[in-house]
Chains A and B, each alone.
Chain A
């Protein structure tokens, strides 16, 4: 039996576009332990609240992460609106749902592509990203941006989507759904793909709960938890249920995300049908005084925004707990005992967004 070796993984490596460093302790090809080192992209933006006022800070919050930017901006707004007791108009709430779900679809397609790349299925990677571009087109048509939307604001949203445009979007999404199904079939049905995903990186229900996993990682381990069910921003008026899988391996996590693509299209459709004419924002007067924890469901899981105001236009404290940070501990657990060659796939199945995690 050979001794233990430490293999450094990252921060610059071809699997992820983002820097994370893992020291992999291996015995032959088997990973015994993974020791993370994070902080390569720490910016310290929580303290920017001292320099940018609470209205301007939405722009910073959106740039915590470029993939789920809208939901970051929106959750920050939810926190400040609750502190200031602002009632957001119904139309704005449904518009927020539409953009949130569009970000979820594009984020999941991005993840599917990166995962295909991690297990070496290059054409599937390209197909997923081709489909993602079509979603980005809808986003660009409605917000003007491809990755940073700039649509959320305290008190509502900045842009409206007309009824005709909304119908067109729903129609387009319906037609893309077929293409998503086609890609989904390859991910879930292809023998070689299953060989790479099934039984790899198992996280038991008990450890998922104990280690505080969130999002698809948690739902794939058989726990029914989705923050959208708490009903923020009118999600409570829509009819849906968390998507849960029992297998707890990489395959289950892939399946959860593929099923969520369908769910998101459905949510956009029902949000469109409930949208009534009306204002899209309210005038914001005064300054925040008080504190609030806002929670929302990102493509990667639960994000928490804590905002504390002291009656000035600068918040006293702002804190973010991001899903990737919560999922790093479960990731280390799933890496134990895996083959070295499976590390990229397992790291990807938490859908790591390091810039969120380190801010």
Chain B
């Protein structure tokens, strides 16, 4: 267990979600669910972040923003697609301005189901992400990534 897995910092970006998943991301950090007890801190700065939480689907306007945030994050990093819109486009996948899930522009490690996603599912994702962060860090140390 390194510093990364003891206290992973998250950054959240709303692609084109309906806000439902966004407020659940925040709710997961609040007293009831308290993701912060795992050392998870919500940061606004991509350069401080280890885990990228993406809600909502990808469209023409936010493509470059999502790519930009991802590129600015230091290695190792984990991307979590939060909710069905970030996974596949969900109920909006037939809209003319929706191109699909987050994996259209960045490599996604975890997909969290739900519309809207439940905070419990987000906690699961965060715990899984911590394990993956460790793995990625070890791979980097061994010069494999």
Residues of A within 8 A of B (CB): 11-15, 17-19, 39-45, 47-48, 51, 59-60, 63-67, 69, 110, 126, 129-130, 132-133, 136, 145-148, 353-356, 358
Contacts and interface: CB of A to CB of B under 8 A. Distances in A.
B73 to A, nearest CB: 12
B25 interface: yes
A64 B11 CA distance: 24
Contacts, number: 127
Interface of B: 11-27, 30-32, 43-46, 56-57, 59, 61-62, 65, 69, 91-92, 94-98, 115-116, 118
B19 A48 contact: no
A356 B19 CA distance: 9
Contacts of B91: 59-60, 63
Given A17-B26, A43-B59, A64 B18 contact: yes
A63 B62 CA distance: 19
B95 A48 contact: yes
Given A60-B92, A66-B116, 9 more contacts: A11-B65, A13-B44, A15-B44, A40-B61, A42-B59, A43-B95, A66-B23, A133-B27, A147-B116
A261 B27 CA distance: 20
B65 to A, nearest CB: 6
A147 B20 contact: yes
- Looking at chain B's contact residues, the main secondary structure is loop
A129 B62 contact: no
A146 B43 contact: no
Contact of A51 (B46, B57, B94): B94
A19 B116 contact: no
B23 A67 contact: yes
B32 A130 contact: yes
B115 A63 contact: yes
Contacts of A67: 19-20, 23
Contacts of A132: 27
Given A43-B57, A60-B91, A69 B65 contact: no
- Looking at chain A's contact residues, the main secondary structure is loop
B115 A18 contact: no
Question: Which 9 pairs between the two chains have the least Cβ-Cβ distance?
Answer: A66-B20, A14-B44, A66-B19, A41-B16, A129-B30, A44-B97, A17-B22, A147-B20, A133-B32
Contacts of B118: 146
Contacts of A145: 116
B30 A133 contact: yes
A314 to B, nearest CB: 13
With most chain A CB atoms within 10 A of its CB, the pick from B43, B44, B94 is B94
B62 A40 contact: yes
A126 B18 contact: no
Nearest to B19: A66
B31 A63 contact: no
A74 to B, nearest CB: 16
A69 B45 CA distance: 30
Contacts of B44: 12-15
A148 B20 contact: yes
A130 B61 contact: no
B30 A355 contact: no
A47 B14 CA distance: 22
B95 A19 contact: no
